[in-house]
Amino acid sequence: MSNPDAYIALISSLPGSERLFVAKQPPLSRLRLDRRLSALTPKDARVLKVLEHALNWSDYDMGVTDAQAIARCKDAVREIPQPTLRALFTARMDLRTAVAALRLRKQGGRPSTETFGLGRWSRHIPANWADPGFGLETVMPWLKEAKQLLDADDPLGLERLLLSVSHKQLKRHAARHLFDFEAVAIYVLIWNIFDRWAQSNAQDAAKRFEKMAHQAMAGAVEIDFEGART
């Protein structure tokens, strides 16, 4: 079990950041961040490693198969016991599934089975393939803009939008956690967003979204995020 005082000290040592897209770099280097994260318990450090590894697309090489990508996500869900972090993971998978579907449809493709990608909407999306926003505009109001940016061949604009959506999701959950492990994990995930934007350029963004299309995981079995730990 974590030492509350140690986590209070850890959170207090982490500098705040400027507004996203204004800051030219994260508020501290990864080396300095990792030094502070050494205060985590081994169990919490393991959860954070799993979470970052599963959410970081740069950790998936181009040769990864659909089955391997799905297995990694399933393993991550099983190893993340905190409800807040599981909810964040699910939300990110929903986002990636929806964007991969937009990309595949733009290329003229279709899901090969009744399921597509990962998360809550893996059956809903194929069933609503002809709808511009897959019938998800209410729960994902950003989908309309994402489609417009994709149609305009603006990968950097699309990346900016998706980072902004992810950042807002994280900030909403951060408001409920102040000096616990979840607060630390959310800080690190936000740090990763700042770091991604600091390294972004149009060419790299285009490559990343092309990679996402190849890893869209069409035909993947649906993951039950609520029951994945059983």
Residues 6+ apart with CB under 8 A from 68: none
What is the Cα–Cα distance from 33 to 88, expressed in whole angstroms? 21
Span 114-136, pLDDT tens digits: 888 778 898 999 999 999 999 99
- What pLDDT does residue 186 have? 94
Span 189-208, pLDDT tens digits: 999 988 888 887 655 655 65
Span 177-189, pLDDT tens digits: 989 999 999 999 9
Look at residue 224 and tell me whether its pLDDT is greater than 80.
no
What is the Cα–Cα distance from 61 to 104, expressed in whole angstroms? 19
Domain boundaries, the chain: 28-214
- What pLDDT does residue 218 have? 40
- What pLDDT does residue 53 have? 84
Span 40-70, pLDDT tens digits: 999 999 999 999 988 875 554 545 555 666 6
The encoded tokens of residue 121 equal 């909407």
Mean pLDDT within 74-80: 85
Look at residue 94 and tell me whether its pLDDT is greater than 80.
yes
What is the Cα–Cα distance from 179 to 6, expressed in whole angstroms? 9
What is the Cα–Cα distance from 174 to 176, expressed in whole angstroms? 5
Which long-range contacts does 203-210 make (Cβ < 8 Å, 24+ apart)?
205/155, 205/156, 205/158, 205/159, 206/155, 208/57, 208/155, 208/159, 209/99, 209/103, 209/155, 209/158, 209/159
What is the Cα–Cα distance from 210 to 93, expressed in whole angstroms? 17
Span 149-186, pLDDT tens digits: 999 999 889 988 999 999 999 999 988 898 999 999 99
What is the Cα–Cα distance from 28 to 42, expressed in whole angstroms? 23
Q: Taking the model in full, what pTM does it have? A: 0.82
Cβ-contact 130, 123 below 8 angstroms: no
- What pLDDT does residue 31 have? 95
